[in-house]
Amino acid sequence: MDNRAAWETASRKHVREYAELLAEARAGTSLFPVELDLLRPLLEAAPAVVHLQSGHGLDDVALVKAGAASVVGVDFSRTAATAASRRAADLGVPCRYVVAELPGAPLRPGCADLVYTGKGALIWLPDLTAWARDVTALLRPGGHLFVYEAHPMVPLWTWDEDEPRIRPDRGYFARSHVNDTFPANGAVEWQATLSDVITAVLAANLDLLHLAEHPDPFWRPHNTNAAAWRGQLPNTFSLLARKPL
């Protein structure tokens, strides 16, 4: 099965769990404190946001609650985009969804004050140079790119609970691996080093404003408490860049 078909299947979860996700979106925020800290000054200006690989769209509701004027989510899963769109309508928030394969978002160049992405997005893209070029095209001059994403070391960590270990079958410098855990079991995930990500951002003529590595993962599968997530190792990174004026 190719990755698009795999995501069409995986995204049915957003439909099965529609009511729970709606309640979650209504009640709180899916944005992490580290995201809110960095985004708050940008959201004060009520930006038009484009969310690349928007998935179930909970972050879009949270971005609007935190100040965004509007969010356009782009995702190649029609199932995910349809569920997100229905949720936005139920909540009365200004979020709309476009079904499209990325990179190559079919949106007006310069339409975004802020491009938001991450939380399991970049691993599906084999060419980050093309991704970053797409981001630059979407941003207006002075607009920002925000990424909160799994750290590129994450594929190497085992989920052992007694102590952290490195998987002998994975390499930091490998180009890809086959995911062997829920929910993407069987799908090919691309790997980029941290320097690959930064080089792609700089090559797209974006100015790097912030880069930080964090110990907490953005996702903890149920019933797992991996030792690799207890503060000793990097599990996420945050990045903020700006298109020059």
Ligand X SMILES: C[S@@+](CC[C@H](N)C(=O)[O-])C[C@H]1O[C@@H](n2cnc3c(N)ncnc32)[C@H](O)[C@@H]1O
- Residues lying near ligand X in the complex (CB under 6 A) are found at 3, 7, 11, 53-56, 59, 75-77, 80, 101-102, 118-121, 124-125
C-alpha 235, offset from chain centre: 14
In the complex, minimum distance from the CB of residue 240 to ligand X, in angstroms, rounded to a whole number: 17
Q: Which is nearer to ligand X, 76 or 157 (CB)?
A: 76
Nearer to ligand X, 21 or 43 (CB): 21
**Rounded distance, CA 232 to CA 47, Å?**
36
How many CB atoms lie under 10 A from the CB of residue 129? 15
Of 35 and 59, nearer to ligand X (C-beta) is 59
Smaller CB separation from ligand X, 77 or 136: 77
Min dist. Cβ of residue 84 to ligand X (A):
9
> Encoding tokens for residue 172?
């930091």
Quote the tokens at residue 194: 């941290």
Q: Burial of 74 by CB count in 10 Å (0-12 exposed, 13-18 middle, 19+ buried)?
A: buried
Give the nearest distance from C-beta 33 to ligand X in angstroms.
16
Which position's Cβ is nearest ligand X?
55
Question: Least distance (Å) from ligand X to the CB of residue 30?
Answer: 7
CB 51 within 8 A of CB 42: no
